[in-house]
Amino acid sequence: MYCSILLMMSMSVDRLLAMVFPIASLTWRSARNATFICTLVWLLALAGTVPLLSMRQTFHFQNMGVTCFDLFDKDTSEMLYLSVFLILPCIFYFLPLVVILVSYSTIIYVLYAKHDHSVTSSSSSDNRRKAVIMVTAVPTEFVVCFAPSNGFLLYHCVRLAMGSNGLDTYSAYLMAVCLGNSSVFLDPLLY
């Protein structure tokens, strides 16, 4: 999920450069740089999972069976888990969210700022309207797909830190994770 988020952020910056600096960005937006950025994104996403790979993530609870990282026993360092699960959404969701919103807001501004209001052509207005719809669809999809799971993850961590068992929001969290995975089939439609 976080690799997808970082790639979406990279594409938003790429689109911003193409719209704001169309000529100058031709030298920046090369296949070599794209390969470098994609490799960097994959490495960052992998680095984000290293703490998870080094921690025990399944625990046996009486009368519940085996559960994943959502709950943990008292022998486990709760602060380690809480810090990892608080940091991941902040770095891999909220920071990219800000970059995506700023990028697409700037693109919409540029679309309207470059518009010559004295010349009104219906085809030009239609093209601009379609571009704005497309530009707003991408961040909307990003927020709809990824905000619930990351929001519930943060909420769950806060509740665990306050001593709750977190079971009251567990089913909603699972639904939010499913919604986050819907980005996989929505992305090809938008890009």
- Structure letter (DSSP) for residue 62: T
- At 32 the pLDDT is 95
Could you write out the DSSP letters of every residue in 17-39? HHHHSTTTHHHHS-HHHHHHHHH
- pLDDT tier at 115 (50, 70, 90 boundaries)? low
Highest mean predicted confidence (pLDDT) among 29-33, 54-58, 130-134, 185-189: 29-33
Q: Which fold has domain 2-190?
A: Rhopdopsin 7-helix transmembrane proteins (1.20.1070)
Q: Is the pLDDT of residue 18 over 70?
A: yes
Kindly report the CA angle at 134 between 129 and 135, in degrees rounded to 5?
A: 95
Q: Which of 84, 7, 100 is nearest to 45 (CA)?
A: 7
As a whole number, the mean pLDDT across the chain is: 82
- At 112 the pLDDT is 82
pLDDT digits (tens, 9 = 90+) for 137-167: 999 999 999 999 898 888 877 777 777 766 6
pLDDT digits (tens, 9 = 90+) for 159-181: 777 777 666 777 788 888 888 88
> Residue 154 — φ and ψ, nearest 5°?
-65, -45
Q: Where are the domains of the chain?
A: 2-190
Query: pTM for the whole thing?
Result: 0.81
Indicate the pairing of strand 59-61 with strand 65-67.
Answer: antiparallel
- At 23 the pLDDT is 92
